[in-house]
Structure 1
Amino acid sequence: MKRKFSGRAVITFCLIIVGVWIYLQYIHNGTSNRDVPLPDSLHPAVSHNAELLIQQSAGKGIEIIITDGFRSHHEQDRLYEKGRSTQGNIVTHAKGGESFHNFGLAIDFAIKANGQAIWDMGYDGNGNGQSDWMEVVEIAKELGFEWGGDWKHFKDYPHLQMDFGLSINDLQKGERPPSQPMTVKSS
């Protein structure tokens, strides 16, 4: 005896299948980890490597300062508004939750000359014929940082980050880099 299914039964069955598929995608993509707390400071490896960057730069006669590190979502949103709804130049394209700063994985730096922070990429304060800025970037890369000046679209020259193989999307879903132990490079 052959049984025919009504159109309503077929639609119900398809909706159940789609619902199960969506549920499995939800679990598989890690969105269930959204309850993982947000960091409130720099990742230990980023902090350690930032200190190494300061020390190794000083060893080349270059004084640098870290001008920014961990940034809350609220601080990020305020920075995002610069050049948009508040005065100033646009300095970021990332809203709160869209920056590696918001997850404690990025720092910004500047050269310190005559007691002042400068962002002059051509400055050669140690007099060796090379840009101090690019010497610092070279050290940072050796320490495992990615430089915002290498980005294809929006160049962020003071920006250094360590993503640990994670994207912003991964971080937003609750994935986090291991906090310890972490091997860091040093020269």
Structure 2
Amino acid sequence: MKSLKTFRTVFSLLFLFILGAFLFIWIDRELEFRKERAERPLPTGLHPIVETKRDELISRSADIGIDIVITDGFRSIDEQDQLHQQGRSADGSIVTYAEGGESYHNYGLAIDFALRLPDGAVIWDIERDGNGSGRPDWFEVADIGKELGFEWGGDWVRFKDYPHFQMDFGLSIRQLQEGYRPEDVIAD
């Protein structure tokens, strides 16, 4: 009976020791990974998949008689901060609620578009039916974007951002700020 209690005690202590060692190693590795992620440089352009899908969006829109122009893609943190100041401490209307580092544009994962008229003018008219399909061009482009895997800002509930498309690859802004990148979640 005494040897069974001793065995249980030794087994319990051994189990706790192994569990503690495992946790120590796991925490140490996690801290190392966090440090590596935090030191990753920010992107300097569109993610290659977003770039490819952007080009497909332009091409597929043209195929149905809608000429679009990409008005914005990658944005640096400084550019985002300047845009955020618009309508606040700088002239103009408010066009974003995201400060630098809070936009998918800052990580090369978002684009904005507008319609281009035959005379070259660029417009943001979400009701225009320039190709005569009976449906606004803007929403036809939105459908194409969603088919290509983009999330469309026009579907957002809190704030409608009709020109905006993004691919988050399952990453939140917080994760991107912590250094995670789409390559961390995309399996090749």
Question: Is the TM-score greater than 0.5?
Answer: yes
Partner of 1:122: 127
Residues 1:159 and 2:143 are matched in the alignment: no
Q: Partner of 1:136 in structure 2?
A: 141
Q: How does 1:1-187 map to 2 (within 5 A)?
A: 24=27, 27=30, 31-32=34-35, 33-113=37-117, 114-178=119-183
| AA in 1 matched with 2:51 | S
CA distance in 1, matches of 2:97, 2:28: 29
1:182 offset after TM fit, Å?
A: 8.0
Shift in Å, 1:37: 1.1
CA distances 1:99-157 after superposition (whole Å, capped 9, x unpaired): 00000000000010131111000000001111000000000000000011111112111
Normalising by structure 1, report the TM-score: 0.80
Look up the SS of the partner of 2:170 in the other structure: coil
Task: Give the AA of the match of 2:180.
Answer: E
Identity of aligned pairs, percent? 56
Partner SS, residue 182 of structure 2: coil
Q: Structure 2: which 5+ residue stretches go unaligned?
A: 1-22
Partner of 1:5: none
Deviations 1:38-62 (A, max 9, x none): 1000000000000000000000000
Who is 1:9 aligned against? none
Q: Secondary structure at the match of 1:140?
A: helix
Q: Which runs of 5+ in 1 are unaligned?
A: 1-19
Alpha-carbon distance in 2 for matches of 1:25, 1:143: 40
Q: In the aligned structure 2, how far is the partner of 1:26 from the partner of 1:154?
A: 39
Cα distance in 1 between the residues matched to 2:113 and 2:38: 31
Higher relative contact order (CA 8 A, sep 6+): 1
> How big is each residue's C-alpha offset from its partner over 1:49-92, in whole Å with a ceiling of 9 and x where there is no partner?
00000000000000000000000000000000001001111100
Query: 1:16 is matched with which residue?
Result: none
Q: State how far apart, in whole Å, the 2-side matches of 1:177 and 1:52 are.
A: 20
Q: How many residues align?
A: 162
Contact 1:45-1:182 at 8 Å conserved across structures = no
4+ residue segments displaced more than 6 Å = none
SS of 1:139's equivalent in the other structure is helix
Q: Structure 1 residues 73, 127: CA separation in 2 closer, same or farther (over 3 Å shift)?
A: same
Native 8 Å contact 1:124 1:131 kept in 2: yes
Amino acid at match of 1:116: A
Larger CA Rg, structure 1 vs 2: 2
What is the DSSP-based 3-state SS (H/G/I as helix, E as strand, rest coil) of the residue aligned with 1:178?
Answer: helix
How many Å apart are 1:31 and its aligned residue? Answer: 3.9
Q: Which amino acid aligns with 2:178?
A: K
